Structure 1
Amino acid sequence: MPRTPLFGFAPGAEVARAHEVLDLAVRADRAGLDLFSLSDHPYHGARLDAYATLGVVLGATTRITGLANVSNLPSRPAPLLARTLTSLSALSGGRIVLGAGAGGFWDDITRLGPPRLGPAAAVRAFEEALTLVRALSGGGGPVTFEGEHHRVTDLEPADVPTPPIWTGSLGPKSLAVTGRLADGWIPGHASDWLSDRFREGRRLIDAAALAAGRSPADVVTVHNLPGRITARPLDRVRDATGRWTGGSVAQWTEELTGAVLEHGSAGFIHFNTDDTPLPVALGRWAEEIAPAVREAVAEH
Structure 2
Amino acid sequence: MSPFDIVFGFGAHSGIDDIPELLRMAQQADRDGLDLFTLSDHPYIGGRLDAYAALGFILGRTQRIAGFANVTNLPTRPAPMLARTVTSLSALSEGRVVLGMGAGGLWDRITDMGVPRLSPGAAVDAFEEAIVLVKLLSGGGPPVTYQGTHYQVNKIEPAPVAAPPVWTGSVGPKSLAATGRVADGWIPGHAADWLSERYRTSRPIIDEAAASAGRAPSEIRTVFNLPGRITERPLPATRDRDGRWIGGSTGQWVEELTGAVLEHGASGFTLFTAGHDAPDHTLLARWAQEIAPAVREAVAKEIPVRLD
TM-score interval (norm. to shorter): over 0.9
**1:150-165 to 2 correspondence within 5 Å?**
150-165=151-166
User: Which deviations, in whole Å up to 9, do the C-alpha atoms of 1:28-50 show, x marking residues without a partner?
Assistant: 00000001111111111111111
2:69 corresponds to: 68
1:146 and 2:182 aligned: no
**1:88-127 to 2 correspondence within 5 Å?**
88-127=89-128
1:283 corresponds to: 285
Distance in structure 2 (CA, Å) of the matches to 1:252 and 1:109 = 37
1:273 is displaced (CA, Å) by 2.4
Equivalent position amino acid for 1:256 in 2: L
Scaled by the length of structure 1, the TM-score of the pair is 0.98
CA contact (8 A) 1:136 1:143 kept: yes
Percent identity between the two aligned chains: 64
How many positions carry a matched residue from both structures?
A: 300
Partner of 2:266, secondary structure, is coil
User: Which deviations, in whole Å up to 9, do the C-alpha atoms of 1:79-118 show, x marking residues without a partner?
Assistant: 1110000000001111100000000100111111111111
Distance in structure 2 (CA, Å) of the matches to 1:247 and 1:226 = 11
1:277 is displaced (CA, Å) by 6.6
Equivalent position amino acid for 1:299 in 2: K
Equivalent position amino acid for 2:101 in 1: A
1:270 is displaced (CA, Å) by 0.2
Unaligned runs of 5+ residues in structure 1 are none
Partner of 1:221, secondary structure, is strand
1:73 is displaced (CA, Å) by 0.3
1:131 and 2:140 aligned: no
CA contact (8 A) 1:167 1:182 kept: yes
2:212 corresponds to: 211
1:34 and 2:35 aligned: yes
1:297 and 2:299 aligned: yes
1:4 is displaced (CA, Å) by 2.8
Judged with a 3 Å threshold, the aligned counterparts in structure 2 of structure 1 residues 47 and 158 are, in CA distance, closer, same or farther, namely: same
1:220 and 2:221 aligned: yes
CA contact (8 A) 2:238 2:245 kept: yes
User: Which deviations, in whole Å up to 9, do the C-alpha atoms of 1:51-73 show, x marking residues without a partner?
Assistant: 10110111111111111100000
2:88 corresponds to: 87
Distance in structure 2 (CA, Å) of the matches to 1:247 and 1:53 = 32
Scaled by the length of structure 2, the TM-score of the pair is 0.95
Partner of 2:155, secondary structure, is strand
User: Which deviations, in whole Å up to 9, do the C-alpha atoms of 1:215-269 show, x marking residues without a partner?
Assistant: 0001000000011111221111111110101111111111000000110100000
Unaligned runs of 5+ residues in structure 2 are 303-308
User: Which deviations, in whole Å up to 9, do the C-alpha atoms of 1:138-174 show, x marking residues without a partner?
Assistant: 1111111122111111110001011100000000000
Distance in structure 2 (CA, Å) of the matches to 1:203 and 1:70 = 22
1:185 corresponds to: 186
